[in-house]
């Protein structure tokens, strides 16, 4: 009889360990899925107004870009997150110029540790022309 009780007592820690491993595996799969899967991708163009590295524990680059569709219209702000220090350095290098950013929108991340916004910028390109209206641009001089 005592051997049977000993086996049951040992089975409880094994079951608890299996539950912990299962929860950790599901959490890892959740984060992997939502960090690799994109809800949407796209391009935005405008002028970066702000880029700063923020966070108490998890530091991410958080930025704000002003987008103007037509001269004289109110600007729209595009809030974004940059996880790569290399992309943040590229943005800092072209600060003050009109740029185009390629972003990925991620949904389902349960914490702001990965960024404060859903829009993650993955690349940036400086734009050499300033459009005044559809079909009318002011070319910038070559460098």
Spatial separation of the C-alpha atoms in residues 43 and 103, rounded to whole Å:
6
Task: Report CA 62 to chain centroid distance, whole Å.
Answer: 9
pTM above 0.95, yes or no: no
Longest CA–CA span in the chain (Å) reads 92
Average pLDDT per 10 consecutive residues for the chain, totaling 143 residues: 54 80 81 75 91 89 86 84 94 90 84 81 85 61 59
Query: What CATH class has 38-139?
Result: mainly beta
CA–CA distance from 133 to each of 48, 73, 78, 91 (Å)?
A: 21, 12, 21, 25
């Amino acid at each position: 009889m005592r051997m049977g009780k000993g086996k049951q007592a040992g089975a409880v820690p094994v079951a608890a360990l299996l539950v912990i491993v299962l929860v950790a595996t599901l959490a890892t799969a959740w984060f992997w899925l939502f960090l690799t899967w994109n809800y949407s991708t796209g391009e935005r163009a405008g002028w970066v107004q702000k880029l700063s590295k923020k966070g108490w524990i998890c530091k991410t680059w958080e930025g704000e870009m002003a987008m103007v569709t037509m001269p004289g219209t109110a600007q729209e702000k595009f809030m974004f997150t940059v996880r790569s220090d290399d992309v943040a350095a590229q943005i800092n290098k072209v600060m003050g110029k009109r740029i185009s950013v390629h972003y990925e929108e991620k949904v389902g991340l349960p914490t702001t540790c990965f960024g404060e916004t859903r829009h993650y910028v993955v690349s940036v390109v400086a734009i050499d022309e300033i459009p005044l209206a559809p079909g009318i641009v002011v070319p910038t001089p070559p460098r």
